[in-house]
Structure 1
Amino acid sequence: MRTALSLLSCLFLAAPAHAEIYKFVDENGHVTFTDVHRKGAKRIDLPGAPAPLARPQGPRRASYSPSPANFPRIDAGTQKRRDDVRRRVLEDEIAGERNSADEARRQLKLGERMLPGERATDASYLDRVKRLRAAVQQHEQNVSAIQRELANLK
């Protein structure tokens, strides 16, 4: 009785999996069965398997819904003033970042000099130079990011 009960519970727990199975044959003739769809793979219909989910046809487009009629609008003059303020802020930021990059390059030049008794293979020297180079690279990345923002302004 106990064996029959455990067999029955195993049957209930081992319910059929609900997955789509695909057969893919590569250029060398190797056959692969998978549950992940690949280009060129064919779906295999298994007896008792659920029907496949409907897939939308064609490319997905972003939904467009116009603004409501009572949505607040900004007049052109106000928007231009805002854009001008943004441009000035970005120009100030890029000037400061360029100065910081120049200072980081100067610090790197000084940091690459070895201290008395120091060797080029010492961990402290390598860490110092690595840290200073990373600072220069970070400032250069910031400058290029601000330049992209400036280029995107109208």
Structure 2
Amino acid sequence: MFSPVSFKDIAVKLPRLQQHAIVDSAALIRTSVSRFYYSAFLEGREVLLRELNVRRREKMYLMRAISHVLVRETFLRTNRYANLGNLLLTLSELRKNADYTLNIVFGWTEYNLAKKHASLILSELKSVHGSEELDNAYLSILSEMT
């Protein structure tokens, strides 16, 4: 099975391409920010799929487009994992700007912020365990969205 952490590994290695003048640094940075986000988001989704104690039918929503909001908001709405949700929210905004807002200059500051957030998220995800609070947060968001 593919490991989402591989996206982070690629994002860390991409700047080496600039040393060889293969691609523009703005493209590298924007691509890296996006890969940092997807490493954190997909790993968070996998953790929820593993740790949530809800019916299989309810977990299926994590495999759809709304999964980005579900993952982020589930963590945000818990006391224990709210910081994780905030980090994902910030990284998500960085990724959206990197992917869609062309008139914003992306530099190494944004790259380093995305890298830091992805690393923190991936580290914190290791301590996520199933709980009633996590289940309730997920089911509450799901009922609002469907």
Same fold (TM over 0.5): no
Structure with larger RCO (C-alpha < 8 A, sep 6+): 2
Decide which structure has greater helix share. 2
Decide which structure has greater strand share. 1
- Bin the TM-score by the shorter chain: under 0.3
Larger Rg: 1
TM-score of the superposition, structure 1-length normalised?
0.27
TM-score of the superposition, structure 2-length normalised?
0.28
